[in-house]
Structure 1
Amino acid sequence: MAALLVALTPAVATAAQDEEVIVLPGATSAEGITTGRGTSFYAGDLFAGDIYRGDLRTGTAELFIDVPNGSRMAVGMTVDEAHNLLFVAGGFAGTAYVYDLDTGATAATYQLGTPGAALINDVTLTNKGAWFTDTANPRLYFVPVSPLGELGTQETLALSGPAADTSGQFNNNGIAATPDGRTLIVAHTGNGVLNAVDPTTGASATIAGVSVPSVDGILLEAGRLWAVENFLNTVVEVKLRPDLTSGTVVKTYTSPNFHVPATIAKHGNRLAVVNAKFDTGFPPTASQYEVVVFDR
């Protein structure tokens, strides 16, 4: 999620191919997206906290979790398919929410940071649990998940190195984990870089050669990383070195259907971004919010 409401000039990019636009019916804002089992996906109403469930095959979506009176936020999110759980970053309240995907019931609520002094922005999953970013503070939060799906007590990881920089208006944002969980990649919006973070010590190092201005959500798979550059209305594909010391932007996607996209998910050879439309205000004031699905 980005709070910088300044239009930036987009770079030359390749047009996204074979696109489909899926409307989130009744949404009053949008930010997070993740895929689930089969062709399902989940997207959040940022300021209302509601969760939508959709189908990438049929191109439809409907309200799944209706949060009473907009009492929560729904920022970044991820699905734990093994335990049928949805983890959602709770934004300015400093919270994180875990939902049961069978019933939509709240399985747990975590108070990760101080309300009003934290911004819990995005989340990624490892085989040990969920990691959350805090845009306002130089730390990450961890929620353990046992092999049986039992949720544990939250932990806080202090960051050092470039990922600890909170001097900008907007700092740590999107997050992804390597398959073995030994490294976290954290997108720093203000500095337009990707930082590799050791989840044991909190030490970090910038991944050289990768400039990602206006970076928001990220997605990692098999040595490739996709980064959403929200106000640029682009998604860039980055090829990473195996040791994560450097990378190269190898492809850039754009589309007239992108309207300040925020986060990204995948299904097979398709990518999906959700339009946050932050250029209309914060909170945004658009009349409709969509997911844009395209070939990678």
Structure 2
Amino acid sequence: MSDSLARRRLLTAGAVLGGTALLSSLSTQAARADAPADGGRWPTRFPLPDGFQPEGIAIGDRPFAYFGSLADGTVHRVSLATGRGTTVVRGLGGSTVGLKTDRADRLFLAGGQSRQIRVADPRTGRHLAVYDLPGAVMVNDVVLRPGAAWFTDSYRPVLYAVPLGRHGRLPGSASELVELPLTGDWAQGSDFTANGIERTPDGRALIVANVFAGGGSLMRVDPRTGVARRIDVGPARFPNADGLLLCGRLLYVVQQVQNAIDVVRLNDSGTHGTAVARITDPRFRIPTTAASWRDRLYLPNARFDVEPTPTTTYDAVAVAQYRPAR
């Protein structure tokens, strides 16, 4: 485990009790995940390689999940239909934290403390681009918008943008990447601050999890200016917010060490929201991020509560997406 991840554990462990009590009291519907509806044929739990240390997950337009390794940056692909997996991209020695896949089946990888952003082709296993960011500290998570891939840095109040040219052309060098300072309501803690990143429902802005500001907040960021405004979700707090996943107007906030997913219904512009439910499951072992396929959410269990070894076991689980009671 890196120094950065050790500090992350301490940060999240110290905040868990307050966040649990507050959000539980606000949820309008305490939601347990029902069995996902696909006839029960596809597995709802499957193993990942021993010692893998998963953190991020991505699912594209086919039923395969990609998982990134904190241990060495390897990317592992699993068939959602069978639960069987294989290594598709070998790591370069650093971590892979967050990851996303685009329509061309390219993987955009956040390189953590390696201070890298990488793009890989899972069909060939080849890295298409590696961008070194000397000023970065920990490149954590990524979201794709038309024209750019956006990355968070957990220790700096900035976002990094990888501009995408015609037909998704990648920049030729790191000098073409954009560093966007975060201003407005953004408050940077002395330690780990920014985590997951998503788009607003209308696609015009970004949503970034800030685990420091106001006891844990969701920030709406204008990608043109970097001005951040705290999303009004009433008294709800997200001190352990990790991965963010938007499905329609429902934002799933993975509160990792709380072993829970909090569900927030947003307005179209992402300026206001209401915490409507909490998903829990006894199989959660500190899930960090989520991706969706049909009516399911898939999450890797990062197991940050144990010291990782080459034989530590890891897995991923599936739960049903939230459906409001009728």
TM over 0.5: yes
Shift of 1:290: 1.1
Q: Which residue of 1 aligns with 2:9?
A: 4
Q: 4+ residue runs of structure 1 moved beyond 6 angstroms? A: none
Q: Which residue of 2 aligns with 1:132?
A: 151
Unmatched segments (≥5 aa) in structure 1: none
Check conservation: 1:262, 1:273, Cα contact below 8 A. Answer: yes
Equivalent runs, 1:142-291 vs 2, <5 Å: 142-152=161-171, 153-163=176-186, 165-178=187-200, 181-191=203-213, 192-209=216-233, 210-281=236-307, 287-291=312-316
- What percentage of residue pairs aligned between the two structures are identical? 36
Q: Secondary structure at the match of 1:263?
A: coil
Shift of 1:146: 2.1
2:102 paired with 1:102: no
Equivalents in 2 of 1:124, 1:277: separation in Å?
24
**Higher share of residues assigned helix:** 2
Equivalents in 1 of 2:286, 2:159: separation in Å?
25
Provide the aligned C-alpha RMSD in A. 2.0
| Aligned pair partner of 1:141 in 155, 160, 178 | 160
Q: TM-score, normalised by structure 1?
A: 0.91
Equivalents in 1 of 2:305, 2:134: separation in Å?
27
Q: Secondary structure at the match of 1:287?
A: coil
Q: Which residue of 2 aligns with 1:294?
A: 319
| Equivalent residue letter for 1:60 | R
Q: TM-score, normalised by structure 2?
A: 0.83
| Equivalent residue letter for 2:139 | I
Equivalents in 2 of 1:237, 1:286: separation in Å?
34
Equivalents in 1 of 2:258, 2:309: separation in Å?
17
Judged with a 3 Å threshold, the aligned counterparts in structure 2 of structure 1 residues 177 and 94 are, in CA distance, closer, same or farther, namely same
Equivalents in 2 of 1:50, 1:43: separation in Å?
8
Q: Which residue of 1 aligns with 2:31?
A: 14
2:64 paired with 1:40: yes
Equivalents in 1 of 2:273, 2:60: separation in Å?
28
Unmatched segments (≥5 aa) in structure 2: 25-29, 37-43, 322-326
Q: Which residue of 1 aligns with 2:98?
A: 76
Equivalents in 1 of 2:258, 2:311: separation in Å?
18
| Equivalent residue letter for 1:203 | V
Check conservation: 2:89, 2:122, Cα contact below 8 A. Answer: no
Equivalent pairs counted in the alignment come to 289
Judged with a 3 Å threshold, the aligned counterparts in structure 2 of structure 1 residues 118 and 289 are, in CA distance, closer, same or farther, namely same
Check conservation: 1:140, 1:159, Cα contact below 8 A. Answer: yes
Equivalents in 2 of 1:138, 1:53: separation in Å?
32
